[in-house]
Structure 1
Amino acid sequence: MFRLSSLCHQPPARRGRLPRGPLAALLLAGLVATACGSSQPDSGTPPRTTPSSLTSSAASTSAAPSDSPSFASELPTTATPEPTTAIPEPSESGLLGGSSIGGTAENGQGDRVHLTITFDAPGPASDILNTVIDSCRSAVAAANSSFERSLAVTVRVSVEVTSALPTTVVLKLGDHAQAIGDGETEPAHGVRLWAKNYSDGPQCGSSISDVKEAANIRWTDVAPGSINRWTGWLILAGSITPSDPTGSKSSLGGLLISPHVTLAGSSTTIRYLTSESPHLVSCSAHDAAAGTANYVAVRPDDAQRLGCGRAR
């Protein structure tokens, strides 16, 4: 007799004489396997199992409920570009920079307004894409020109009212002059258009039909202490030509603007603030007897080259 357990710890070569014959060998193999257990080595570490709670949690987060809207469905399928309002600076010389002024006006009745006006750098009108400037497209065509051959300047206005009562403010930007050299001026040259945005829609004012009224901006019943802003475009038709593709030699360089403000129907005189008006220039008035007058130069450097001085 031999012990089966003793065979579990001996290599086959040292297990001695075993019963012979196919049937005996098969029977012996089964007995050995039963006595010794599995032939695989024991690592001493139980197999890892995934808890049922984790399995169900992963399943619930990997698939959204069928009645929940997906994030993608909340986004627009196509992007809508916003209107382009800024004019890029031309790459060629002669049209860089802009100008700005600031001042106050009073009507003697207790109404007061603080005003700022900024003219951006000019560029081709065709670079601006919005419905406001498009309102002047037909007027430019009537002047035998096109947006590709016209310069545009973005104009930004801010008005802050000080008053005990709501009041109406009207800013007039259509009074233009032209610096021609030696500080002298004359009526402005060229066809000037104002693309204006109002609450009832865009309008185009033309220097041909309504010279002084072309650029009137009205705020009705302005609340005391409120700040009102406005953006429009000054267009000089036909100012770009094949021989002057940037418009640097156009009459825009000498264009001067004399703003006027009315408060509650009364005319006022703008008192420019030196700290806010670095681009205010002084040139001869149309009436020689009136001496000099202050203007806002669209391109102040050009105005100075034409003899206008910096206003103090």
Structure 2
Amino acid sequence: GDERLNYVGFSYGTYIGALYAEMYPENTRALVLDGAVQTERDVVSEAVEQTGGLQTSWEAFVAFCLDRAEPCPFTGTDSALREMEGILDDIDAEPLRVADRTLDRDRFLDLLRGALYTETLWYDTAGLLARLAEGERDDFVHDYLLGLLRRDGDETPGMEESAHLAVRCADHAAPTDVRDYQEGAIRATRLSPLFGGDEVWRKLPCAYWPETEIAPIGVTAPMAPPILVVGTLGDPATPYTWAREMADRLATATLLTYEGGGHTAYAKGHPCVNEAVDAYLLRGELPEEGTVCPTGS
């Protein structure tokens, strides 16, 4: 029954919100677009860029670990990859057992990727890696990994991933030559030797996807009221460059930057971000262009 829409969209919700502002500017009051996605480039290019964002998040986590976590398994930023590979080699030699599941290297990296999504998990994630580096597989290791599995799990296994893939394939242009995906995976591995080309290979089904209506691109929403875009420098899922692109493209947008990590920033316990977004939603007061909220604030 509201006369105009007040909306907070996270991740893919940023595309929905931007498209609404383009189509129905007269029905729009306040839109917060946090963790911007991009649909302008093909699915391989998107996955390569996402891998770059994942690497940025990993580097932010390493810096956090070295500066603030105790214990931390790393001795320096230059040695962190080698030391992480040592942990993964141990998991290769003896996979982890968690409840009734076996975690090999690839599944463990998936859980690590998921842990990077939530900055408040970083301290305990550092403790997990420190224990594994020492060869410990104690109750903390078991219980923490079980918690990550539960956070990551679908009620129906594969359902969420299937829906995610369907949306990505439908929204993006997609090469049909497998060699394009192979080349993309090579580029992604150069960007992130730790996570490699997985993000690209996950999109390979798009090469065989049936033709669908082309999703709208180039959305600028020139008639919309002021819009607030929120971007996180260390976002592992939606790279900060995408937030900057969306803010530049939307005619009435202002960009608010969070310097920390994690996927999206609003309502994640960051007072600076929360206060700025709340002021916009409640009173229509935008932060000054170029406002940056430091890590943890």
Report the structure, 1 or 2, having the larger strand content.
1
- TM class by shorter chain equals under 0.3
Larger radius of gyration: 1
- TM-score normalized by the length of structure 2: 0.22
TM-score (norm: length of structure 1): 0.21
